[in-house]
Structure 1
């Protein structure tokens, strides 16, 4: 389990609440320290057991490229409330939330979209449904269909145990031992516990089911013709690196392998990850603006 490198917010990053027709979403908003926003904004979507805090280590660097960058908690995740309704937590429903957030944040202007892990499956729904025209789309440590390997086993435990045994049980028998084995600080440990126990149990279990059963929509995504980047760690233990590489080839997408990183490049190699995103975003903007001339 990966954790944020630090919890103190860097300069230019602040917690915010964003109101949408579907409710209020908790976000971290990053702005250039100069206050001058010159490039298109970006929206970052976290994974299944994650939150907006998973992007803390890259937010300042991304914003310093001249952008407003917003990392969100999905509905029912950490500081964003959610209903006790399983239908609210399908990838399609969560993707519709991403559409609304993009429209509120961007005000109709072009926006870059990034989805990490399960967040990639959610963000893919928003890209495919066509309700929002994104400037680019990045799949970060996310695959074409259901997750595989050890993380699939963990997802199945979440799906089965959270509704019957509760979040406290899952914390004590899975997440806490993993955190302690990773020798995290007391501050990080307290944050991880608070984050997990604040999740909607219905939401977490339903999202786990989604990541275990998602079908392949790569061909549909390719038809959208949005500039796409596939970025993952060389030691990813979610979707195997070869599966993500093959997906990038099918999409005709740019592909970046982050050396030394596993399933959370934004945490494990933040500078490399941020630099790759900024290069991709700049290139996408240049190409799109060139086509508009």
Structure 2
């Protein structure tokens, strides 16, 4: 990735529901690629944005409401997968994105992407999932423990730092961990994250399986093989059961493989999205 492209990655915003929806992008002409995060934020996509742009794509990595750098605050009702999918559709409308649109999702963002595909909230041309929740793989224990009333927003910061460190695996550095954890220093974001954890429910992906099996849309799975929670076995099952699906395994990578192998993941996305 050239230094020029790196410098063109910028953070900007649009208004959705009266609140700021923040997103990372490279502003240029080209087919849009909508990039969705889950229990982290748009930072998970930063390592591949410039490479996608160099291939002529227009990457858009949005922060879901109340998370990352976006305004607002999630509630138990607005943090469900269907509600987030509706919000993403309103976000794309605010950007005036033309459809059909390619969508990629990481973690719970992958559940939102699957919902967008199967429920027609957005006309999805291609679906890519990176260490996404699938079937009944979620919520992971370190997320599920925040569903109970005993948890507090103050617990979130330390727990997120621990989770980030594990998920980055060999790519973890003190600076990178600090970058990832920074949004959770805001109490509003911590409360939103707890709402997201509280709304996490595998029924939202299990109920999509019949529609996914009927879907003719091309699908790509990119998987860090060392993920202890979103295990590669789930991806293998998905690739075997869901038509028009290709699985690419990333060795020596954990839950955020974009940090471990950005070049390989960007190349796989580019090949898939520009085919």
Q: Same fold (TM over 0.5)?
A: yes
> Which of 250-259 and 113-122 deviates more?
250-259
Structure-2 residue corresponding to 1:205:
194
Q: CA 1:176–1:40 in 2, change beyond 3 Å: closer, same or farther? A: closer
The one-character-per-residue Cα deviations of 1:78-115 (angstroms, maximum 9, x if unpaired) are 21123463211110000111112233335333321000
Indicate yes or no: 2:232 matched with 1:241.
yes
Match of 2:135 among 133, 141, 145: 145
Q: CA 1:86–1:270 in 2, change beyond 3 Å: closer, same or farther? A: same
Match of 2:156 among 154, 166, 170: 170
CA distance in 1, matches of 2:163, 2:74: 28
Match of 1:24 among 20, 27, 43: 20
CA distance in 1, matches of 2:79, 2:105: 16
Structure-2 residue corresponding to 1:155:
143
Structure-2 residue corresponding to 1:6:
none
Structure-1 residue corresponding to 2:217:
226
* Structure 1 residue 178, shift from structure 2 partner: 5.7
Q: CA 1:22–1:247 in 2, change beyond 3 Å: closer, same or farther? A: farther
- The structure with the greater share of residues assigned to strand is 2
CA distance in 2, matches of 1:281, 1:184: 29
Structure-1 residue corresponding to 2:255:
263
Ranges in structure 2 where 5+ consecutive residues have no aligned partner: none
* Structure 1 residue 259, shift from structure 2 partner: 2.4
Q: CA 1:273–1:152 in 2, change beyond 3 Å: closer, same or farther? A: same
The one-character-per-residue Cα deviations of 1:255-275 (angstroms, maximum 9, x if unpaired) are 111222221121211111000
Structure-1 residue corresponding to 2:272:
280
* Structure 1 residue 226, shift from structure 2 partner: 1.8
Match of 2:88 among 85, 91, 98: 98
Contact kept? 1:167, 1:197, Cα under 8 Å: no
Contact kept? 2:250, 2:261, Cα under 8 Å: yes
Indicate yes or no: 2:188 matched with 1:196.
no
Ranges in structure 1 where 5+ consecutive residues have no aligned partner: 1-8, 284-293
- How many pairs does the alignment contain? 264
* Structure 1 residue 213, shift from structure 2 partner: 3.5
Contact kept? 2:80, 2:200, Cα under 8 Å: no
Structure-2 residue corresponding to 1:290:
none
CA distance in 2, matches of 1:95, 1:65: 27
* Structure 1 residue 280, shift from structure 2 partner: 0.5
Indicate yes or no: 2:112 matched with 1:116.
no
Q: CA 1:207–1:146 in 2, change beyond 3 Å: closer, same or farther? A: farther
Contact kept? 2:12, 2:23, Cα under 8 Å: yes
* Structure 1 residue 221, shift from structure 2 partner: 2.2
Q: CA 1:165–1:153 in 2, change beyond 3 Å: closer, same or farther? A: closer
Structure-1 residue corresponding to 2:203:
214
The one-character-per-residue Cα deviations of 1:9-53 (angstroms, maximum 9, x if unpaired) are 92220010022346421100124xxx5x3x4110100121x1111
Q: TM-score, normalised by structure 1?
A: 0.80
